[in-house]
Amino acid sequence: MPANEFNGFTDYGIGIGLRVPHYRHILAEKPVVDWFEIISENFMVDGGRPLEVLDEILEQYRVVQHGVAIYFGSADHLDKTHLKKLKRLVRRTNTPWLSDHLCWGSIDGRYTHDLLPMPYTFGVAKHTAEKIKAARDYLEVPICVENVSSYAEYHASEMTEWEFLSEVVELADCGILLDVNNIYVSSKNHSFNPYDYLDNIPHHRVGQVHIAGHSKFEKYLLDTHDHPVLDPVWKMYAHAMKSVGNTATLLEWDDRIPTFNEVHREALKANKFRQSLVAAK
């Protein structure tokens, strides 16, 4: 949906991830970009250069926060210190919505720094949804949860990933950050039809979309974010946009990062699909 309660009723266009190698170019050249997505944890610091850069960016651009470490799916309780720092950042950026992943990555206070898949069970969905609700209530900002790419599945799972995602977001009454590339990667790794995934989630809850590149290995795909978006993912993106509407879209490029202009050009390819939607109306 172009604007909904899960993205703060905004109508953002094509964004790109704010990355260190591009700081100088962005601050000096001030390129026209609809919005930047920041990794929240990179700016949950107490001082110094990161916050100075962020403040300069905020003077010129709209910023949306994307997190990698709330770990809604961890059996641990929410980390209050983490949330406190996150809320301080939310107030600084005025992000209209905030996203993090439907995953876990820490347990007993020890961190893997990874986005690990969940066992897809009703009990886990309920626990996860309760944490999302608690985080939203504390942070006072809409939350979208992102589907992760995965390389393993658990015996314990009792439903598909898209059923689990749907269960969680309905219970939590939150939004979805739909990562089309992650669906494609997981569909190849787990042998499901990615269009079944796209067609069977609550479309009205999608507040943002991610696209990215991945790498192909002999027996599996890896979510590397170090390539342009591949054709099958663009096709899925076009399909998704027909279902969810002209939704804010972000290109992720996190490794082997090319020039700012190259990343921006790749992101703007999404406009082709977005404009065709507008023309079709």
Paired sense of beta strands 215-216 and 98-101, if any? unpaired
Q: What is the nearest approach in angstroms of another protein to the Cβ of residue 210? A: 10
**CA torsion 165→42→234→29, rounded to 10°?**
150
Q: Which is nearer to another protein, 252 or 266 (CB)?
A: 252
Q: What is the nearest approach in angstroms of another protein to the Cβ of residue 58? A: 16
Instruction: Calculate ∠ Cα 201-202-204, nearest 5°.
Output: 140
Residue closest to 211 by CA, chosen among 220, 202, 194, 223: 223
Instruction: Please tell me the distance from the alpha carbon of residue 188 to that of residue 230, in angstroms, as a whole number.
Output: 14
Instruction: Calculate ∠ Cα 268-224-68, nearest 5°.
Output: 85
For residue 30 the two structure tokens come to 């001030």
The verdict on 37 binding another protein (CB under 8 A) reads: no
Dihedrals phi, psi of 189, to nearest 5 degrees: -75, -25
Paired sense of beta strands 215-216 and 221-222, if any? antiparallel
Q: Which of 1, 33, 63, 116 binds another protein (CB under 8 A)?
A: 116
Site string for another protein, 197-236 (x = CB under 8 A): ---x-x------------x---xx-xxxxx----------
Q: What is the nearest approach in angstroms of another protein to the Cβ of residue 99? A: 12
Dihedrals phi, psi of 46, to nearest 5 degrees: -90, -15
Of 96-115, binders to another protein (CB under 8 A) are: 101, 104, 106-115
Q: Which of 32, 140, 191, 193 binds another protein (CB under 8 A)?
A: 191
Q: What is the nearest approach in angstroms of another protein to the Cβ of residue 253? A: 9
Instruction: Please tell me the distance from the alpha carbon of residue 16 to that of residue 37, in angstroms, as a whole number.
Output: 6
Q: Contact 38/90 with Cβ under 8 angstroms?
A: no
Of 120-179, binders to another protein (CB under 8 A) are: 121-124, 127, 148-149, 151-156, 158-160, 163, 166-167
Q: Which of 29, 75, 275, 278 binds another protein (CB under 8 A)?
A: 75
The verdict on 69 binding another protein (CB under 8 A) reads: yes
Q: What is the nearest approach in angstroms of another protein to the Cβ of residue 157? A: 8
Q: What is the nearest approach in angstroms of another protein to the Cβ of residue 163? A: 5
The verdict on 48 binding another protein (CB under 8 A) reads: yes
Q: Which is nearer to another protein, 224 or 247 (CB)?
A: 224
Site string for another protein, 245-264 (x = CB under 8 A): -------x-xx---------
Phi-psi label, residue 245: left if phi above 0, alpha if psi -120 to 50, beta otherwise: left
